[in-house]
Every structure is written in structure tokens, then in C-alpha cells.
Amino acid sequence: MLVPIKAQKPLPLEGRADDVHIWDRDLNLIDQILADDEFIDILWRSFRRIAPTARHTGRQRTALNRSFRTAALKHIKRWSFPTTFKELQRNLDYRAFTQFFDEKIPVHSTLSRNVACIDAQAVRECNEHLIQIARQHHVVQGRRYRQDTTVCETNVHYPTDSSLLQDGARVLQRLVDQAEQLVPSLGRMRERSKAIRNRVLEIARASRGGRTKGEASKKRRERSYRGLLRIVRPIATGAGRVAEKLGDKRVTRHLGLYEQLVAQELKVQLETMGGRVERVIAQTRARVCRGINDWPDKLLSMFVPRTFVICKGKAHKPSEFGRLIDIVEVENGIVSDYQVLDGNPNDGALLIPALRRHRERFGRAPHLAATDRGFWSAKNEREAYALGVKRVAIPATGKLSRTRLQLQRSRWFRNAQRWRAAGEGRIGTLKNVFGMNRCMYKDAKGRDDDAMERWVGWCVFANNLVFMARALQAQEQDAKQSGTTAEQSDRAAA
């Protein structure tokens, strides 16, 4: 059963008469920002999308305001869920911020499940509402705009065909063993993990070279790959037969209700993982046997299938495995828009749609739009001016005409590019401070929700909360200084 708000007002701790106070200045301001009831309405809609019957049935869940504030605190501090649980147990500031106060803190697994119930759409709506709050407090106006792309890696090991086949075979054998314990008539599958491990080690030695190099090493690696495929193919075929039997009611009719549900879940997992193993077998045969490296729809992870190879031209990391993230930043370090993209699209195709979303969000086009040369094209520049942008600072590629060179050497253009270069620091902050370098969330079962979009959305939300709190603090200090200066002037005049 859903509980919208619990212990919203500060409560005395252990019989103390004084109220709880958040001493951390940033957290105190963030607490005031999150007190808006619209956030609770967004979370309420999210829970109703995920679990429509949870409003009236089931045991009481953790209150929505507590789950929401716990997720925000976790990403602000870049903690894991076990660390969040430990810190909430021993710190009164964090208890007051998350509004648990003197009540028992749920264990880290419960915290993780509660945060997972906030879907990607709800996180995006929270970010949009936070931008509107920032506009009301004059923290952002949407007059300056800079855009860049980066990569958020998925939590996978370095993908090789041999390691993917080993992962798939291991999972299929484990699922078949669980099915055999549930329905003994299915029979056991031969354990081939040791043979697979030996073939994988042979491939690794052949890839390193050693005594045999060149064509001999290539033939040795191909021979080991063929042996690995001969082992993995029967495992995938046998897992498919087991999945078919689990779907046959004549095989599972003697099971109880709970055991039948477990059998159906095992059947779904076997079909899903079996399909992925078949994809890896196909791409391995194409690469090893036919020499086709550019295989369409290449699978890079058995557990995070939406992982792509992204080449950003970095010398220390030529290829990254994850998703491309489009970041749009406005004044005071606030990220106004983010997009999680599939594949490795051209940056130039992202500029105009992002400018249109910016105009819808702020009600006007930015006065200044600055990006790097990857976004440049003559068409993009024309369309940006047509949307109402007064100054478009995008360096052109290729040989420059005298007019273009004079434009790019003008003072406003160079100042815009200096401000644009600071966007690299914003991406560094998102990655190194708020954890956007690697996604640690998993896709929820039975949902089309994107774990990567939830992770990036929470990182952006944490960044916006912190920098909005600092901007409000700076506004307060400026107001105090101006008030003090006015008093001193009045005294001097008197």
C-alpha cells in the first residue's frame, strides 16, 4: 500500500524538546527546494504506473517523500545503497533530510527496490519541475546555451566473443540445473564449464601471441574458437528444449501454483538468454570463420543488451562501451536537458531538436548558443538563427573563407567559445562528483523502463539541486551585502 508522505514535519529525537535541524547549509537549502508538493504528485503517478493496485492493496511501503529524498541524497553524495544505509543509521543530518528521523532505517535492499519504483519518466518530470523552480527564483533564464555529448558506460566487462559465450553458457547451465531441481523428469545437462574455460584460456594465449605470432597465432585462435562453438552450441540447443518442456502443461501439471510460476519464469529466462547466446554464436562465426567484423546489431553484453561501441577519439580510451548522453547546460551550472541515445549518432543531428525543446521549456530561444565544431553545419547554423537564436557560436570545419575567419576571430565569438569550453568541466563534474561515468542500475523486470535513463536523470537532478542551492546561497549573501552597504550609506548621510 502506498504512503504519500510520512513525518513531513521535524519530530523530537529520543525525547528531546528541541526540533531537528539540518546543519549542512547545502542540504538545508535542498530540503527547502524538495518541500514542493508537486514532487510527491509526480512520484504518486510513477508508482501508479508501475503498480496500479498498490494504492489499496499490500503491506505499507516506505513513504514516497522518504524514498525520493533517499535517492537524491544517494546521488548527491555518490554513495552505494549499503553506504547510504550505514550513513542514514548514524547521521542525524541525513535522517532529518530524508525525514526518517528516529524511525528504523530500511535495509539497503529495500532502499534499492523503493528507488527502482521511481521510473525514468518520473525522474525527467522532477528535473523539469526543478528547472521551473529555478526560473521562479531567477537562477536560470535560458539566455545562454551550451551543448555537448559524452559517454556513460554500462556496468560490463570488456566484451570479447569468447567471454560472452562463456557468460551465456554459464547462465544457461545454471538455469537448466534449477529447472531440473524443479522438474526431475527433465534430466541433467552435462557440465561443460571446465572445457569452456580451457578454450577461453587458449584463445587468450593465442591473442597475446607469445612464441607463435602472425598467421600461426591466427590459425590457433580460430581453431580454439571453433572448439568453443562446438561446446556452446549443444548447451544452447539443450536449453531451448528444456524451455519448450517447461511450457508443456503435461510436464508441469503435477506442480503446485508457486512451482508453476517459478517454471514459467525459468522458461522466460531460458528463452531470453538462449536468444542472446544464439546472437553471439552468429556474430562469432561471422567474424572468425568469414572475416566479417562489422556485424549488424552486435551484442556486447549478456546482461545489458543495450550497450553500444562508441568512439569519441580519446587516446587513452579509443572505444567505450555504453550509451551516448547529450547534455544541454544553461546559467549557473544547471543542466536543462539530457537525452540518452542508442548507437553513435552524429552530433550535428542533435542540435536543432535540442534548441526546439529549449524554446518550449523557457518560452524563447537562447540569446547565445555555443557548441564545439562537431555540431557545425551550414544548415544547423541557418536553422538556429531561424529559431530565434541571436548569436550562434559554432566553429566551422574545413578551410575557412575570409568572412568566416573574421567572424570566428571576433570578440563575442571567442568569449562564447571560452564559455563553451567550461562545459567540459560540467561533464567532468557529472561524472566524477555525481557518478555519471558508469551506470550501476539494472533494468527492472517486466518494465520498458530504461535503467540508463534513470541513472543519468538522477545524476543530473543531483547536480541541479547542488548548484541551485549554491546559487540561492549566493543570492542571499549578495542581498545581505547590499543591505549592509545601504545601511552604511544611510549612517554616513545622517
The count of other CB atoms within 10 Å of the CB of residue 463 is 24
The percentage of residues in the chain with a pLDDT greater than 90, rounded to a whole number, is: 67
Whether pLDDT at 452 is above 70: yes
Whether pLDDT at 482 is above 90: no
Whether pLDDT at 213 is above 90: no
Q: Residue 2: its pLDDT value, please?
A: 56
Average pLDDT value for residue range 336-364: 94
CATH 3.30.420 is held by the domain 144-155+307-439: yes
Banded pLDDT at 274 (limits 50, 70, 90): very high
What is the DSSP secondary-structure string of 281-323?
HHHHHHHHTS-----TT----SS--S-EEE----SS-S-EEEE
Question: What is the 3-state composition of the chain as percent helix, strand, coil, each rounded to the nearest 5?
Answer: 60, 10, 30
Query: Of 98, 79, 89, nearest to 10 (Cα)?
Result: 98
Mean pLDDT of the chain: 89
334 close to 464: Cβ distance less than 8 angstroms:
yes
The percentage of residues in the chain with a pLDDT greater than 70, rounded to a whole number, is: 91
Q: Residue 19: its pLDDT value, please?
A: 54
Write the CB contacts of 141 (distance below 8 Å, at least 6 apart in sequence): 135, 330, 331, 362
Task: Between 346 and 209, name the one with better pLDDT.
Answer: 346
Query: Of 313, 308, 301, nearest to 325 (Cα)?
Result: 308
Q: Residue 270: its pLDDT value, please?
A: 94
Task: Report d(CA 107, CA 97) in Å as an integer.
Answer: 18
Average pLDDT value for residue range 129-151: 94
364 CB-contact burial (10 Å; exposed 0-12 / middle 13-18 / buried 19+): middle
198 close to 134: Cβ distance less than 8 angstroms:
no
Q: Residue 15: its pLDDT value, please?
A: 47
**C-alpha distances in angstroms, 317 versus 196, 304, 374, 442?**
30, 21, 19, 24
In this structure, are strands 320-329 and 335-341 parallel, antiparallel, or unpaired? antiparallel
Whether pLDDT at 218 is above 70: yes
The count of other CB atoms within 10 Å of the CB of residue 1 is 11
Task: Between 128 and 53, name the one with better pLDDT.
Answer: 128
Count, residues in the chain: 494
Average pLDDT value for residue range 184-193: 87
User: Which runs of E-coded beta strand occur in 50-196?
Assistant: 144-154
Q: Residue 321: its pLDDT value, please?
A: 94
Task: Report d(CA 28, CA 169) in Å as an integer.
Answer: 51
300 close to 321: Cβ distance less than 8 angstroms:
yes
| Cα 195 to the center of its chain, rounded Å | 37
Tell whether the torsion through CA atoms of 342, 344, 347 and 349 is positive or negative: negative
| Alpha-carbon radius of gyration of the chain | 28
User: What confidence tens digit (pLDDT) does each residue in 308-338 have?
Assistant: 999 888 888 889 999 999 999 999 999 999 9
Q: Residue 52: its pLDDT value, please?
A: 78
Q: Residue 3: its pLDDT value, please?
A: 60
**411-421 and 423-432 helices, crossing angle to 10°:** 10
Whether pLDDT at 448 is above 70: no
Average pLDDT value for residue range 279-295: 89
Whether pLDDT at 352 is above 70: yes
Banded pLDDT at 16 (limits 50, 70, 90): very low
Average pLDDT value for residue range 106-133: 93
Query: Of 175, 386, 381, 339, nearest to 269 (Cα)?
Result: 175
Whether pLDDT at 494 is above 60: no
Whether pLDDT at 129 is above 60: yes
Grid cell, residue 478, equals 549578495
326 close to 339: Cβ distance less than 8 angstroms:
yes
Grid cell, residue 298, equals 552486435
Q: Residue 171: its pLDDT value, please?
A: 95
